[in-house]
Amino acid sequence: MKAIRVYAPEDMRVIDIEKPRIDEEKNVLIKMKAAGICGSDRGILHGTNAAATYPRIIGHEIVGVVEEIGEGVTRVKPGDRVIIDQVTSCGHCYACRKGRPNVCVNLKVKGVHIDGGYRQWVTCNEKDCYLLPDFLEDKDCVMIEPTTIAVQACSRAQLEEIDDLLIIGAGALGTSLIKIAKLYKPHRLIVSDIDNAKLQTSLELGATDVINSRETDLESAVKELTGGYGSTVTVDAACVKGSLLSALKVTGPAGRVITMGFSVSPEEVNNYLITSKELDVRGSRLQNRKFQEVIDMVKDGRIDLRGSVSHTFPLTEAKEAFRFADSGDPSIKKIALMID
């Protein structure tokens, strides 16, 4: 079968490997249909994802159809369309015992630490399979996984109606955050970016205010919108040089700052900003059993993921797809690889 493996930074190859077989642990065989291209996938290719190990079959936003099940499997049956949970945890470390398997000390993420879904068939345990709504196309179903990331971030932020929320960055992650955050009905939902087209999209998705931080001083603009207080929750969905410091500056006393980046480059952090305002600075990683929650939101019509994917490529054209993803083309919203 065909698969996409990254052997080392900047070394991606289309390869032929043996089709996997089910066993007692990986008791479901899935014919893959679609897989999203995420910023972390691009980071693995370019050597900027600190968590990744090589060589690696990448891909963690993965959708397919159940082809075969093992003895005793009851969660799914052949013919079911499913999305696969990317998190594998040990179940007994401190994080797992605290109900946070997404940061398990022995964490293994499909497509990062263990082989993922950029291939024609995958095996996994039935507990990692979630049934998909019939009305959502395969390519749009890949957006369920990044939406779980947004739900996790809002959960970590303890977002409430009283909050003035600032989302820094209006890319794929930022737009997913807008869709979820507006369900919490925050007092203000402010989005900053340097691209006016993305800011316009943010307004259409439900942002109350937008700021072009290239044209306007972010801190001044946020304080003006919040009566001088600053945002009470700030989510750094850009994770570029300086964005964390900006988040600390714009957030008001007793606020929460959520960082989602994986860069290991040195970043300036001002202790005074944290201590004087008693800010909570929290990481948000992956998702903590959020798949069914998001699928229920889709089925109930609370979020609409249709039309989220702007471009598709065949699996065997993954190199071209990643080059296009890196191009900065303004028409890109989300790219999916379609798998025959």
User: Would you say residue 290 lies in a domain?
Assistant: no
Query: Using alpha carbons only, what angle is made at residue 41 by residues 30 and 20, rounded to the nearest 5 degrees?
Result: 25
Judge if 152 and 137 occupy the same domain: no
Place of tokens 């398990």: 104
Judge if 119 and 172 occupy the same domain: no
Judge if 67 and 17 occupy the same domain: yes
The CATH number assigned to the domain holding 20 equals 3.90.180.10
Judge if 11 and 32 occupy the same domain: yes
Other Cβ atoms less than 10 A from the Cβ of 97: the count is: 10
- Give me the domain span that covers residue 18: 2-143+305-338
Other Cβ atoms less than 10 A from the Cβ of 272: the count is: 8
User: Would you say residue 288 lies in a domain?
Assistant: no
Other Cβ atoms less than 10 A from the Cβ of 22: the count is: 19
Distance CA 192, CA 225 (A): 12
Judge if 66 and 102 occupy the same domain: yes
User: Would you say residue 32 lies in a domain?
Assistant: yes
Judge if 6 and 137 occupy the same domain: yes
User: Would you say residue 293 lies in a domain?
Assistant: no
Give the residues of the chain that fall short of pLDDT 70: none
Other Cβ atoms less than 10 A from the Cβ of 26: the count is: 16
Judge if 153 and 171 occupy the same domain: yes
Distance CA 261, CA 273 (A): 20
* Beta pairing partners, 5: 13, 57
Distances (CA, A) of 340 to 3, 35, 131: 12, 11, 20
The CATH number assigned to the domain holding 219 equals 3.40.50.720
Q: What confidence score (pLDDT) does residue 48 get?
A: 87
Judge if 205 and 139 occupy the same domain: no
Judge if 112 and 221 occupy the same domain: no
pTM of the model: 0.91
Judge if 139 and 163 occupy the same domain: no
- Using DSSP's 3-state secondary structure scheme, residue 65 falls into strand
Mark out the alpha helices in the chain (DSSP H runs): 39-46, 94-97, 138-141, 144-157, 172-181, 196-205, 218-225, 243-250, 271-277, 291-300, 318-325
Q: What confidence score (pLDDT) does residue 279 get?
A: 98
As separate numbers, helices (DSSP H) first and strands (DSSP E) second, the chain gives 11, 18
- Nearest CA to 62 out of 262, 312, 338 is that of 338
Distance CA 35, CA 281 (A): 32
Judge if 43 and 174 occupy the same domain: no
The torsion angles phi and psi of 123, rounded to 5 degrees, stand at -110, 145
User: 41 near 335, Cβ under 8 Å?
Assistant: no
Judge if 138 and 160 occupy the same domain: no
User: Would you say residue 43 lies in a domain?
Assistant: yes
User: Would you say residue 291 lies in a domain?
Assistant: no
User: Would you say residue 215 lies in a domain?
Assistant: yes
User: How many structural domains is the chain composed of?
Assistant: 2
User: Would you say residue 296 lies in a domain?
Assistant: no
126 residue type, one letter:
E
